[in-house]
Chain A
């Protein structure tokens, strides 16, 4: 089992690149430890900005830095970044078109027993609804590396959600196909299309392997680019399948499931089922306990897919 959380990989990439690029700036809101960015602050104090517990300031300052030519990465718990500073993300970043990368750490239900104040099961919906804001949920450490490197190459706003804990690898260091804003096809099949993002990609792949043993073939799309959604891949693989299932660590409204359903409904009508967190307080537990409880693991997703196919 991999022991490196995605947030640590972002720090590694930024530290590698900051050596030669003095415009890379990392900002935290008393969150450098939880963001795994303390090493960056230590190594590059002149390229680090601490704002204290003040998320609105975090995003506003980032926008100002970007306006002046810097490449700010602002990291703060996704729960606060996507709500307390939502207006700054909308106006100062997306609307003003500043090159700010918002890193929502410990996203989804990563904080487990800390409760709903610390969960961010609404961030895809809110951020994706803002024009000119992109939304990315990398699935593992290898893809996180590729995504961070790609984001350093562009000058547009983006929100990136990552979890708190290490997640099982989907890819390997040598085999991590990545094309910006294109879903990665992990498996191809004729019966079921599974579209997943972030930490749900691994369980979706597990589900496809379980289904395969039972004679059901599934396509698995790693839709790390929730916005802009890779519609082309959704349409191509939905057309081959009998049913479509989406899996996400998010509210059932306004996330990956809603977006995939729109595309499938318009272009290639199929039955679509959205596997997501409930529209209620999430049960107390670790990520694994919570996902197991709601059937958001390999077995659970495979079971839901079989029932849906029947």
Chain B
């Protein structure tokens, strides 16, 4: 695995936790599960930077699971779209533009989200526009697994297939947990791969917390022609500290001081281990 990325992932997680503590709330579980997906996209896969953010040929990203915004803000900050420490200091504070769901007055944020099930249709529109204009843009949209219960997701899935949008790549953060508990207990998902395949999508499954696996998955998605691709990325909710890993209660739990210290200790230890790997 890319050692540098792995080391960075701990730094980014610590920044994300600091942002949540500063704002007095956030969706920490999903932030942690999606971290490697966002990092692989923004640091390796996508053609996007502060310099080309208005270039029509850029790649587009939509965070459809908008509640897990803190890791997104962290990555955009590191990427240079704005000053990360300023974002951390003002996150969710009075009058701040850094609110608890993506806000497209902030540089780097394409669309507002927060209501689940909206991202895929919007991504379909972006991908159709790129095809119409024969632009090289690729469009990425990240959804939660609980979000897949929204009917509008499947309207988007139908149209993505209908228009053969091979410039569109959806990623499902398959952490198996949603606010009320295990996704299979709340509303059965069975085999998501079969569902997407039945809708005509190219389906790739991978370990969503592993950079090598993600790199391979995105390369395969890029190479596939004629259909949109969905990457079902198996992840661990709350990844990075045992006190929150795979626990539904940490969907939007705000760590108390003791928990915060333990999380930061665990992340520091993880970083040390990654450095010495």
A185 at the interface (CB under 8 A from B): no
CA distance A174 to B56 in the complex (A): 41
Known A-B contacts A62-B125, A64-B129, A70-B129; A92 and B156 likewise in contact (beta carbons under 8 Å): no
B268 at the interface (CB under 8 A from A): no
Q: Say what secondary structure dominates the interface of chain A.
A: helix
Cα A68 to Cα B152 in complex, Å, equals: 21
Complex contacts, B152 vs chain A, CB 8 Å: 56-57, 60, 88
List the A side residues contacting B37 at CB < 8 Å: none
Could you tell me the distance between the alpha carbons of A25 and B113 in the complex, rounded to whole angstroms?
23
B182 at the interface (CB under 8 A from A): no
Judge if B25 is at the interface, Cβ distance under 8 Å.
no
Interface check B267, CB cutoff 8 A: no
Which residue of chain B has its CB nearest to the CB of A59? B121
Contacts of B132 in A (CB 8 A): 25, 46-47, 70
- Tell me the bound Cα distance from A69 to B115 in angstroms: 23
* Interface range for B: 20 to 34
Inter-chain contact B126/A64, CB cutoff 8 Å: yes
**Taking each of A49, A61, A97, which has the highest tally of chain B beta carbons within 10 Å of its own beta carbon?**
A61
Q: Which of A61, A69, A72 contacts B121 (CB 8 A)?
A: A61
Chain B residues positioned under 8 Å from A70 (CB to CB)? 129, 132
Which of the 9-residue segments B70-78, B104-112, B170-178 touches chain A?
Answer: B104-112
> Closest Cβ of chain A: how far from B61's Cβ, in Å?
12
Knowing A46-B132, A57-B155, A97-B104 are in contact, say whether A64-B56 is a contact too (CB < 8 A). no
Q: Say whether A87 faces chain B, with CB atoms less than 8 Å apart.
A: yes
- Give the chain A neighbours of B112 by CB distance below 8 A: 91-92, 95-96
Does B274 sit at the interface, judged by CB under 8 A?
A: no
Other-chain residue from B114, B137, B156 in contact with A91 (beta carbon distance below 8 A): B114
Is the beta-carbon distance between A96 and B158 smaller than 8 angstroms? Answer: no
Query: How far apart are the CA atoms of A72 and B162 in the complex, in Å?
Result: 19
Nearest chain B residue, comparing its CB with the CB of A65:
B125
Q: Looking at the complex, which one of A46, A47, A60, A95 makes contact with B125 (CB distance below 8 Å)?
A: A60
Asked whether any CB of chain A lies closer than 8 Å to the CB of B6, the reply is no
Whether B19 is near chain A, meaning CB under 8 Å from some CB there, is no
Residue in B120, B126, B137 whose beta carbon sits within 8 Å of that of A65 in the complex: B126
A18 at the interface (CB under 8 A from B): no
Q: Which residues of B contact A (CB under 8 A)?
A: 56, 60, 104, 110-115, 117-118, 120-130, 132-133, 137, 151-152, 155-156, 158-159, 162
The interface of chain A, by Cβ under 8 A from chain B, is 25, 46-47, 49, 51-52, 54, 56-57, 59-70, 72, 87-88, 91-92, 95-98
A60-B152, A70-B129 provided; 9 other pairs, C-beta below 8 A? A60-B118, A65-B125, A67-B110, A67-B126, A69-B129, A72-B125, A88-B152, A92-B112, A92-B121
